[in-house]
Amino acid sequence: MRAMLRVIFTSRFFPVIILIFGLFISFLISLTEPKPNKGIEIPKPTAVFYDNPQKKDVTLKVTTNGEVRSVTEINVIPQVSGRIIQVADEFIDGGNIKKGQPLIWIDDRDYRLATISAESRVAQAKKLLEREIAESELAKKDWEELGEGKASPLTLRIPQLEEARALLNAAEADLEKAKLNLERTVINLPFDGLIKKKNAGIGQYVNAGSILGSAFSTEKVLIPLPLTDTELSYLGLPLGYESKGYFDGPKVVFKSYISRKNIEWSGRITRTSGSIDSQTRLVYAYAEVLNPYDEDPPLAIGTYVDAEIEGNFISNGFILPIAAIKNDNEIYVIDQNSKLKIKKIEIVGTEEDKVIVKGDISELDMVVISTINTGYEGMELTPMILESKEAS
């Protein structure tokens, strides 16, 4: 036995034998060692931030923008021909013209002569008519004394009488036309306005229909305002809306930064377009501002303005952060057992970075404002209040 052990220890296979022996012992230990029981892993509740709805009466406001345009813009065109003999001092680019104020005078001598000639023809026609009336009455009297039966119209001079009346009517029409042409030698604007461009001056011969300049009305301006269909509903206006009077439409406050100052003007929505733009999918509401050039500074044509439109009044609405709104107008509410409950709500408006909703909710509800990828009814949650909320 001793000799056998000596042979093993001195053998070159001794390390291999030791390794095999160690593996065998490890195998025996693993068989006899008690194995741990596998437990069921319990999911931890999801930590979420929440906010409480704020109950409030709100007047909705819609913000948009647009460019100021003229409601009325015309070309200054004479209706008679002639040489310009005088122009108003205000007939210059940017000149301010009042309604009915003389703007351009055309030489009227030919038109005065035409009026005198027309007056003469009227006098002649009246004299002719008076004579025909007298002769017609005389012919009728003679027939009654000497004639028999019924007199013919020619015998009573009725055709001559009608011709005389027609000549008088034509002469009077010519006189009215001559007077009208005489009036048209003085050109004015049918509104208070500004001269946009001047094309003619003193001494120039102009034909009827030629363009002497252009002007636009300053009595009011128009601002087209693009809106989405949702924003239009916030205003409570239908497509094709038209106000009965200027002050019946929704109020609009216009703002612009001019000369390093924030300037405001007030106006009203007077109508909306009757269709939706096929490319932008927007609807246009048209606002008007009365007497914009009486302001200081004026709301000038071409000014780009921001607009805030007064919309519907919402009674007992609830204000929530936008982050509280989930798919399909839903909100996630944490119940008393810290479990998720899904509620349907109706979005009735927006206010800055908040939404105004209505539905089966209260100011005590803990509304989830965190993002939950797979929220489901009964999901366990850990409510966490925002730091800003704690500070308040």
Residues 197 and 272 in one domain: no
Domain of residue 133, CATH code: 1.10.287
Phi and psi angles of residue 265, each rounded to the nearest 5 degrees, phi first: -135, 155
Q: Give the angle 305-310-312 at the CA atoms, nearest 5°.
A: 150
Whole-Å CA distances, 125 to 22, 168, 178: 148, 5, 16
Residues 322 and 373 in one domain: yes
d(CA 236, CA 269): 12
Residue 156 is predicted with a pLDDT of 66
On the question of pLDDT at 309 being above 70, the answer is yes
pLDDT in tens, 330-382: 999 999 999 999 999 988 888 778 889 988 899 999 999 998 888 888 999 99
Residues 287 and 302 in one domain: yes
Residues 81 and 208 in one domain: yes
On the question of pLDDT at 142 being above 80, the answer is no
Residues 179 and 279 in one domain: no
Residues 121 and 142 in one domain: yes
Q: Which helix (H) or strand (E) holds 355?
A: strand 354-359
Mean pLDDT of 160-168: 88
CB 170 within 8 Å of CB 118: no
Classify residue 18: in a domain, yes or no: no
Classify residue 7: in a domain, yes or no: no
d(CA 78, CA 250): 40
Which of 273, 298, 313 marks a domain boundary? 313
On the question of pLDDT at 79 being above 50, the answer is yes
Classify residue 29: in a domain, yes or no: no
Per-residue pLDDT band for 25 (boundaries 50, 70, 90) equals low
Residues 225 and 308 in one domain: yes
Residues 224 and 298 in one domain: yes
Classify residue 271: in a domain, yes or no: yes
How many structural domains does the chain have? 4
- CA 389 to chain CA mean position, Å: 38
Classify residue 35: in a domain, yes or no: no
Domain range for 225 is 61-70+218-313
Residues 275 and 318 in one domain: no
3-state secondary structure of 241: coil
Classify residue 329: in a domain, yes or no: yes
Residue 103 is predicted with a pLDDT of 95
Beta-bridge partners for 350? 355
Domain of residue 304, CATH code: 2.40.30.170
Per-residue pLDDT band for 391 (boundaries 50, 70, 90) equals very low
The position carrying tokens 């002639």 is 82
Domain of residue 88, CATH code: 2.40.50.100
Q: Which helix (H) or strand (E) holds 233?
A: helix 229-235
On the question of pLDDT at 51 being above 80, the answer is yes
DSSP output for 31-89: HHSPPPPPPPPPPPPEEEEEE--EEEEEEEEEEEEEE-EES-EEEE--SS-EEEEEE-T
Beta-bridge partners for 5? none
Classify residue 291: in a domain, yes or no: yes
Residues 306 and 286 in one domain: yes
Residues 94 and 210 in one domain: yes
Phi and psi angles of residue 98, each rounded to the nearest 5 degrees, phi first: -90, 155
Which of 313, 336, 361 marks a domain boundary? 313
Residues 134 and 193 in one domain: no
The average confidence (pLDDT) of the chain is 86
pLDDT in tens, 54-71: 998 888 889 999 999 999
Classify residue 39: in a domain, yes or no: no
267 or 259, higher pLDDT: 267
Which of 168, 183, 198 marks a domain boundary? 183
Residue 1 is predicted with a pLDDT of 52
Domain of residue 354, CATH code: 2.40.420.20
